[in-house]
Structure 1
Amino acid sequence: MKAAVYYENGGPDVFRYEDVPDPQVHRKGIVIRVEAVSIEGGDTLNRFRGALVTKPHIVGYQAAGEVVEVGEEVDNIKVGDKVVTTGGFGSHAELRAVPARTAWVIPPGMNVLEASAIPVPFGTAHDCLFEFGRMRKGEIVLVQAGASGVGVAAIQLAARAGAAMVIATASSDARLEKLKAYGLTHGINYQRDEVAGEVARITDKHMADVIVDPVGGPTLQSSIASLAYRGRVSMVGAAGREAMVVDVGSMMGGNRSLSGVFLGAEIATDRVHDNIQQLIQDVADGALKVLIDRTFPLKNAADAHRYIESRQAVGRVLLIP
């Protein structure tokens, strides 16, 4: 099969488009013919500095396609099913092998490209808001990096749950404008405005009850500074790549809390698996929307990663084998 591989960490230019051996099915797993790869934020981070589990290494958490092989102990997925899959690596390829437990059947007639972009960003956003952020109807929500995959999902989920305000940050007014159709009520251009000060102004100094922060680094400090009394920050990922050095002293006086969120730690549990299946159904039913910014051929993986790192995208960028 063909795959986008690399032999060393670095920028997008490390990618090579090469022939590699086909993956082998595990007795508890499946193999899919990939139809769409959703490039996750962790994919660019892993390419940049993650461990090379294989060599050459095929990066990538998430991909969807048709099942072409099923392990002997798998009874809930069959050859010919369309599924979306997650795993620690291996999405940037024509074929992919994963445990059946980290695959979700796509409802008949659903757009496979949209399905490919659901489990990690929507599952993460849901956990950040509800499992760890404990969001309630009528609260004010701040989403850092609102134009990211997690950001777009969090905006929609917060709006659907009855947030009094859904505030998000992005690097330009143009990117923020595109998010209004997904439930954004107030946007903050972090290139121009100081985030905590804008949150104070927008909320008449109430600040944010729940904050979703997929950026980390200095952005996490602005999240902490934007918290209301008893406010909660869900920190997920480190898209900013800067060192995670923050002062948490201000959290004590306001009885505020900070939770680290990693969907991968619980993705094989019944709770998360069932929740993601419901989120896929919600998109299929039109209750939630997947925002796809651009698609690239798999052989142009370097261009796709370069485009993501330019911070122009709004929503997900896909690779098509």
Structure 2
Amino acid sequence: MKAAVYYENGPPDVLRYEEVPDPVCHPKGVIIRVEAISIEGGDTLNRFGGPLVNHPHVVGYQAAGEIIEVGSEVTHLRPGQRVATVDGFGSHAELRAVPARNCWLVPDGYDIKQASAIPVTFGTAHDCLFEFGRLKAGETVLVQAGASGVGLAAIQLAKRAGARVLATASSDERLARLKAYGLDHGINYQAESVPDAVMRLTDKKGVNLVVDSVGGATLKGSLASLGYRGRLSMVGNAGREPMVVDVSSLMGGNRTLSGVFLGAEIMSDRAHDMIQTLVDDCARGGLQVVIDKVFPLSDAAGAHRYIESRQAVGRVVMVP
């Protein structure tokens, strides 16, 4: 099969499009013929500095496609079904072997490219808001990096739950595009201080919950934006900056900071069922998957480069 591989960590240019051995099906797994690959923030972080599990390494969390083989111990899936899949690596390829537990059925007629972008993106946003963020109707949420895949998912889910939604982005143009998905107030972090804007928009009360997928210096602004008993869901490190923050402000306001990592629970019944519900919601049109651009797998380097330019609104997808 063909795959986008690399032999050493580094910038997007380390990616090569090469022939590699086909994957082998585990007794508890399946093999899919990949039809769409959603590039996650963790994919670019792993390419930049993560472990190389194989040599050459095939990076990537998410891909969707048709099952072509099932393991001897798998009874709930069969060849011919379309599934969205997640695993620690291996998505940037024509074929993919994954645990059967990490598959979610794609409803008939639903766009496979959109399906490929749901499990990690919407599942992470859901956990940040509800499982760990304990969001309630009537509360105010700040979504950092609102134009990202997780950001757009969080905006929609928070609005649907009855929250007032604030979000940040790097330009007024990008913020304007978020209005259609439930954004109430946008904050251009290039033009003004995020905490100052939050206090202005909340009559100096701060927000009840922040979803922060950026980290680094952005995390400091997230902490400063919290109101009394505010909660902060920290997920990812898209900013690639050291996580050095003063958390002393948490005590005075009875605030909480939670680290969120969907991967730690993705094989649990709770997470699996939650993600399947989100896939079904998207297929029915209750939630929108925003795909900014589609690249061929052969230009994985270009796709990664485009993501790191921070031009995208939503997810970038590749097709073999």
What TM-score comes out, normalization by structure 2 length?
Answer: 1.00
- 1:168 equivalenced with 2:167 (yes/no): yes
Equivalents in 1 of 2:130, 2:94: separation in Å?
35
Letter of the 1:137 partner, please give it: A
Match of 2:289 in 1: 290
- The question of 1:218 aligning with 2:217 is answered yes
Partner in structure 2 of residue 59 of structure 1: 59
Unaligned runs of 5+ in 1: none
Q: What amino acid is the match of 1:74?
A: V
Partner residue, 1:134: 134
1:202 aligns with 2:196: no
Paired residue secondary structure (2:56): coil
The runs of 5 or more residues in structure 2 that have no matched partner are none
> Equivalent residue for 1:305?
304
Number of residue pairs matched by the alignment: 320
Task: For 2:68 and 2:21, locate their aligned partners in 1 and report how far apart those are by CA, in whole Å.
Answer: 16
Query: 1:203 deviation in Å?
Result: 1.0
Distance 2:222 2:80 in 1: 45
- TM-superposed CA distance for 1:133, in Å, is 0.4
Distance of 1:53 and 1:190 partners within structure 2:
37
Percent identity between the two aligned chains: 70
Deviations 1:215-254 (A, max 9, x none): 0111000000000100000000000000000001111000
Tell me the equivalent position of 1:26.
26
Q: Is structure 2 residue 242 aligned with structure 1 residue 243?
A: yes
Shift of 1:108: 1.1
| Deviation (angstroms), 1:21 | 0.1
SS at match of 1:279: helix
Quote the residue 1:182 is aligned against: 181
**Deviation sequence 1:35-92 (CA, Å, 0-9, x none):** 0000000000000000001010000000000001100111111000000000000000
Which residue of 1 is the match for residue 253 of structure 2? 254
Q: Which residue of structure 2 aligns with residue 145 of structure 1?
A: 145
Letter in 2 for 1:170: A
Partner Cα distance (1:234, 1:69) in 2: 38
- RMSD of aligned C-alpha atoms? 0.4
Taking structure 1 as the reference length, the TM-score comes to: 0.99
Q: After the TM superposition, list the runs of 4 or more consecutive aligned residues in structure 1 that deviate by more than 6 angstroms.
A: none
Deviation string for 1:102-132 (max 9, x for gaps)? 0101011111111000000100000000000
Query: How far has the Cα of 1:184 moved from its partner?
Result: 0.4
Shift of 1:181: 0.4
The code of the aligned residue for 2:193 comes to: E
